Amino acid sequence: MTNYTDPSKDLLKHIGGKENIAAVTHCVTRMRFVLNDPSKADIEQIESIKLVKGTFTQSGQFQVIIGNEVSSFYNDFVKIAGVDETSKDEAKVAAKQNMNWLQRMISHLADIFTPLIPALVVGGLILGFRNVIGDIKLLEDGTKTIIEVSQFWSGVHSFLWLIGEAVFHFLPVGITWSIAKKMGASQILGIVLGITLVSPQLLNAYSVAGTTDIPVWDFGFAKIEMIGYQAQVIPAIFAGMLLAFLETRLRKIVPNSISMIVVPFFALIPTVLIAHTILGPIGWSIGSGISNMVYSGLTSAFGWLFAAIFGFAYAPLVITGLHHMTNAIDLQLMSELGGTNLWPMIALSNIAQGSAVLAMIYINRKNEEEKQVSIPAAISCYLGVTEPAMFGINLKYGFPFLAAMIGSLCAALVSVGNHVMANSIGVGGLPGFLSIQPQHMTMFAIAMAVAIVVPFILTIVFSKTRMNKFSFKR
């Protein structure tokens, strides 16, 4: 008998038994169940299990927060429950039965961008570091940057652009690969398609606005502009989906004996042609419209209202999974405007959630058992991973979550009110300042201070008033 035997038996009992489990898998901190009848799960009893730090439902999956022990716990659970191990992809497919059309659309969008997040975060940190050494005048009484004084750091600055360019300028390659993988098409064809959107043969997307001499492919009866889609999100999504659609349909009708030749040929070539004649221009227009709308909303006379709503509502969006939509908007803002004023608010919201947990650590400072959950949760939240903090502490008590939402609102007002822009997506916590454009770092630091102080104070105040009865859970 292991330390996980009794908790596994309890979880199996309160989740509705083996017959209620359609699929089960796990991630870094959570057990992910697809239940045949979600109403049979006794949430109150499940959360009373000592090893369980919280529960929530997202993307059709009932998720039980275990923490860093989840892998070992999962191995014991599947043995005791007598259920087969399920891959994450299989669990996602099974979870579709519990989703409405909007949840399915968001889930598809999340599945496209989630595999790209490690590269985007690394790219954001690299661009941020290049800002520090290449754009901020830190030396010789504030007259020179580090790269102007040091040949070594000048070389580092130039070298790191190799990675930054690979991540952001060639982003369509990652998007078309991810879509091909998700939709069951040939991943190498997805990669090839992405390369055709960013090929050096094409006019760089960043140069289109500054030139009237656009090269063309001349077919005699028609001409196609040779425009690249570097860093463009929506054209790549449209193209990737068309490729996957054509390939998967062709496989069903082309005999196996010739499918190796016919399917790739008649899937890739039409897709590339349609991408450069129809989907690319349409996607570019849509992306430009979205980015301009968001940017105009945040910089207009009513920008403070947009900021207040987004800052207050972002954490609840995380619970529903709707926050995945912001990845596409951020990337589109970056490609159109050279930066994003949306992402700083996301980083500030994460910091605010961590600060509320920090206040709970102070409030429950004599509770050693509570600190075993809250201290790691606060640390991970400040480093950009909010789930242990939100679901393990803040939603459990309720009032810290509300305090964090209000603190995020205040910090968002400071950020948007001072036109803070980030170069890119980065680590959504305290290290996020590295992604902020140099001229905005001071104001972002002030916004970060607001995101730390306001939730901390409000959480303590709420704990001493009737607000400590406030809860998001029922």
CA dist 433 and 423 (Å) reads: 10
Q: Which residues pair with 65 in a beta bridge?
A: 30, 54
CA dist 95 and 36 (Å) reads: 10
CB contact burial 44-73 (16+ within 10 A = b; e otherwise): eebbebebbbbbbbbbbbbbbbbbeebeeb
> Catalytic residue positions?
27
- The tokens describing 381, both together, are 């939240």
Of 217, 218, 220, 223, the closest CA to residue 196 belongs to: 217
